[in-house]
Structure 1
C-alpha cells in the first residue's frame, strides 16, 4: 500500500514539529518527545499482533508523561477529526478548544465517533493522559488509492497549528 495518508502524513507532521518546536517554544519550558512508532498495523494477518512499537515504548516509560498525543491519517483533503472514544476526554477538550480558538472547528469536530486500536492504546492502558488525532473517515485507508493526490498539506498544517498552539499553553 502506498500509505500517503495512512503513515506518511503523521510522519510529515512530526518532522514539521521537530523543525519548528525549537523556534516556537523555549527549551527551558518543557520536555517534548517526538516518537515515531513502527509495527502499528499488521495488515490483518492472522496471528500477527498490532501496535507493537508503541506497546514496547509505553512499557519502557518510568515516568508518567503529562500528555501523549498520537497523530495518524491527518492529511485527508476532507479533514474531519473526531474525538476518539479511548482518548482522555479532558485532553481532547483542551486540543479541540485550541482548534476552535484558531477557527478550525469544522476540521476538529467536537463529537466522539470511533473507538480505535491505534498507537495511543498502550498509553491509555497505562493510565497516561492520551489523545488520538485521526481522520478515520478516509475512504482510501488500506487501499492502493492512498496516494499523494489524496493528501493535503493544508490539512497537515491545520493539525500542526493546533498542536503548536496547544503546546504553547502547557
Structure 2
C-alpha cells in the first residue's frame, strides 16, 4: 500500500483519486472483534459503526484507543479516506498454525455484510 500510495495515488490530480477505501484485514477469526483504529477518518468510523448497528453486528465492532500501522495509513496520507476493518487479536497471526481451518464463515459473513452495507448505503452516492 505504501508503493501504491506513492506511485499511483500521489501523481493523480484532484478528482482522479478514489473517494474512499475499505480495508479488510484478519477478519476471519472465530472470535470476531473488529476494532477500528483511533485514526480512522471520523465520518468513516461513524458510518461503519452505523452499518454494523443496522445489521445487528454492532457487538463485533469497537474502536481501538490507539492507531494501527496498517495498509490504510498510506491511503489516508494520500488523501483517500480509508477505514481498516481489522481483528488484531488473532493468536495464529504469522505462525505456521495460521491455516484455513481457523477461518469462520460466520465472521467473514458479518464483516462482508457490514462492508457491503457501508459501501451501498453510505459511500456510493
Same fold (TM over 0.5): yes
Number of the residue aligned with 1:71: 24
* Matching residue of 1:112: 64
The aligned length equals 120
Q: Distance in 1 between matches of 2:12 and 2:71?
A: 15
Cα deviation code 1:43-72 (max 9, x no counterpart): xxxxxxxx4445444335442322111111
Question: CA, structure 1 residues 105+127, in 2 after alignment: closer, same or farther (shift >3 Å)?
Answer: same
1:126 paired to 2:72: no
Q: Distance in 2 between matches of 1:60 and 1:76?
A: 37
In structure 2, runs of 5+ residues without a counterpart are none
What is the SS of the residue equivalent to 1:106? helix
Map residues 37-52 of structure 1 onto 2, 5 A cutoff. Answer: 51-52=2-3
What is the RMSD of the two structures over their aligned residues, measured on CA atoms?
1.9
Relative to 1, partners in 2 of residues 1:60 and 1:143: Cα closer, same or farther, differing over 3 Å? farther
**1:79–1:155 CA contact under 8 A, matched in 2:** yes
Q: Alpha-carbon deviation of 1:85?
A: 2.1
CA separation in 2, counterparts of 1:74 and 1:83? 12
Structure 1 residue runs without a partner (length 5+)? 1-39, 41-50
| 1:31-110 → structure 2 map (5 Å cutoff) | 51-53=2-4, 55-62=6-13, 63-109=16-62
Whether 1:166 aligns to 2:118 is yes
Mapped partners of 1:61, 1:74: distance in 2: 31
Report the TM-score, using the length of structure 2 for normalisation: 0.83
Please report how far the alpha carbon of residue 108 of structure 1 lies from its aligned counterpart in structure 2 after TM superposition. 1.2
